[in-house]
Amino acid sequence: MSFIESLTTAWARTQSLLCVGLDPEPSKFPGSLKNRSDAIFDFCRAIVDATGPYASSFKPQIAYFAAHRAEDQLEQLIAHIHETHPGLPVILDAKRGDIGSTAEQYAREAFERYDADAVTVNPYMGFDSIEPYLAHEGRGVIVLCRTSNPGGSDLQFLETQGRPLYQVVAQLAAEKWNAAGQLGLVVGATFPKEIEVVRGIVGEMPLLIPGIGAQGGDVEATVRAGRTAGGAGMLINSSRAIIYAGRDDDFASAAAQAAKKTRDTINLYR
């Protein structure tokens, strides 16, 4: 199945809009995983297996692996998710943004090396920085639109064509850029009014929504602003609030409880 097909199926099958972010930081691991060469993989595998029953997707952030020379463990992890939790899409959070042959290599990295179902990209350099990803049939491309960080307003709220830049990005993604039908947008939970505006522009297009949990986004406001008519359409991401819910050797069970609570809270407002 394509990314959009697998995502739609996962939403229906799991009855969850939760995307579990995987941002492994070894300094926060429990003592049993300290100073182990495979600690990042083992930590993330335990989190994935514990939270899998409550999630509809996973989002590993590549920087947390690359900074520790653990790209091979990221490959193992994505393979493990596909094998052990089939049907749950993996979004590689890389926020790549380049053009031409360089973008082609980034696309190969995401889809051929890591076998991700989708990847996040930065649209600042325009469509020719996104097009190489779309050449990989069935793979998803999730474009930064209205990000959850405070500094996002520095550029995303600049007026162009009589409206904020983030709205122009949403319109381009929904109309000109989405010929393959596999695009989504990143819109932060810290800006529910903007989520509602983007939803009105893009229709049924999926929205990856970071910012609940540690970043303080309001779950009710997020869901009410971003849901589609069918009560789906969102990958609501929580990372630190779930994966570091416990710091001892019971970290995986603590993560499972946090994931279940987050999923159930989201479902209250669908």
The partner residues of 121 in beta bridges, in order of sequence, read 96, 143
- Which of 174, 181, 201 shows the shortest CA–CA distance to 137? 181
261 tagged catalytic? no
Catalytically annotated residue among 95, 176, 193, 261: 95
Q: How far apart are CA 265 and CA 267, in angstroms?
A: 5
Phi/psi at 140 (5° precision): -95, 150
HEC readout, 30-41? CHHHCCCCCHHH
Distance CA 204, CA 197 (A): 13
The DSSP string of 241-268 is HHHTS--STTHHHHHHHHHHHHHHHHHH
Catalytic residues: 95
